[in-house]
Amino acid sequence: MATISNVHFSCFPLSYGLVTRLLVLVLAVTASSCAAADGREMVANGIGKTPPPSEATEPTSLLPEAKVPMGSNSEPVVVQGSVYVDSIAGTVGGRGSYELSYPQLDGLALDHPVNVALRGPIEELRDEFLTAVSEQSGEDSTRSDFEGDSLQGSGMVSLLDERLVSVVYEFRVEWAGAADVDERVESVLVDLKTGTELNLGDLFVSGSPWLATVGFFARQELLNRLGTAGLWADGRGLELEAANYAVFGVRSEGLVFRFGLHQVAPGTAGTPEAIIGWASLVGLIDPEGIAAHLVN
C-alpha cells in the first residue's frame, strides 16, 4: 500500500531567519485551506522574479497573497502563494518499489487544475511503472530475477511568481538485471491566471522563427557543454521539431531545456541541459504574453 508524507522544499534561496518569518505568516494566511497539524512545511515564494503588484482590479493570479515584514524598519512585501512538497512511496507485489515527490501550491485544493497538473508527470510514470512490474510478475510468478525494480523521481520548481509556475522533473528507473539505468525528464508550465497548462510555443509571438532560434542556441550551448564529439554526429534529437524541445523550465534569467537519455548524445551524457538567456530571445517573446514580464 502506498504511503504519503510531506517534506521540506529546500531549494529556496532564503536565509534561515527569513524562512522562519515567512513560514509563520504564510501558514497563518493559508490556515483555512490546510490544517495546522498536517505536518507540512511551507515557504513563501522565494524562487525567480516576483514583479510589483498590478494596479488592475482584476485578479492577476490564483495564488493567495500575504504581506511579509522584511525587517523592523521595512515596509511589508507582498508575496504570492507558497509551495510544499508531497511524497508518495509504495511497493508492487513485493517485487518493485517507488518513491516520488512533487511540489504543490498551498492555498489551492488538491483537485485544483494547477495542483493536478503539477502531479501529472509523477502519476503518469508511476502508473507506467506499476503496469510494467505487474505484467512481468504475471508472466511467470515463480521468477525472481526482476525483484528489485525501482522508480525514483522528484520535481523542482524553477520559477514561481504571480503569473507562472514552472517545474522540471527528473526520474530514475532501475530494472533488476538490466545493465543500464533509465533516466527521464519531464516538465510542466502553468498559467496561474487561468490555471491552464502551457506549451513552449505559447511564450512566443505567433509566426515568429522562435523554434529555429531556440534550436540554434540550444545546439551552441550543448556544444559548449559536451563538445563536438559529445553530440550525435548526425545531429539527431535537435531537429527543428517542437517535440525535441518540449521539456523545459522557465527561470528568471531565461529558459532551460532538458533532453532525454540518448536523445542528443550517448548515454554517458545523461539528460543534458541547455540554458538560453532572455536576451537571446528578445523580439520573439510575445510582449503581451505570459512571459513578457520576465523579459522586460
| pLDDT value of position 163 | 92
Residue 10 identity:
S
Q: Return d(Cα 186, Cα 173) in angstroms, integer.
A: 14
Nine-digit cell at 150? 525501482
Question: What are the residues whose beta carbons fall under 8 Å from the beta carbon of 63, sequence distance 6 or more?
Answer: 80, 81, 105, 107, 108, 162, 192
Measure Cα distances from 257 to 70, 111, 212 in Å.
34, 28, 14
Residue 129, φ and ψ in degrees, nearest 5 = -65, -45
Ranges of the chain whose pLDDT falls below 70: 1-81, 137-147
Q: What angle do CA 115, 120, 122 make, to 5 degrees?
A: 110
In order of their start, the domains of the chain are: 1-198 (3.30.565.40), 201-295 (3.90.640.20)
pLDDT at res. 98: 96
SS3 at position 258: strand
Q: Is the CB of residue 158 less than 8 Å from the CB of residue 251? A: yes
Q: Which of 28, 18, 30 is nearest to 63 (CA)?
A: 30
Residue 125 dihedral angles phi and psi, to the nearest 5°: -75, -35
From its phi and psi, is residue 171 left (phi > 0), alpha (psi between -120 and 50) or beta? beta
For 116-222, list the strands marked E by DSSP: 149-160, 164-174, 182-191, 196-197
pLDDT confidence of residue 107:
85
Q: Are 102 and 86 in contact (CB under 8 A)?
A: yes
Cβ-proximal residues to 111 (8 Å cutoff; 6+ apart), any chain: none
Nine-digit cell at 58?
482584476
pLDDT digits (tens, 9 = 90+) for 236-255: 999 999 999 999 999 999 99
Whole-model pTM: value is 0.75
CA gap 130, 145 in Å, rounded: 17
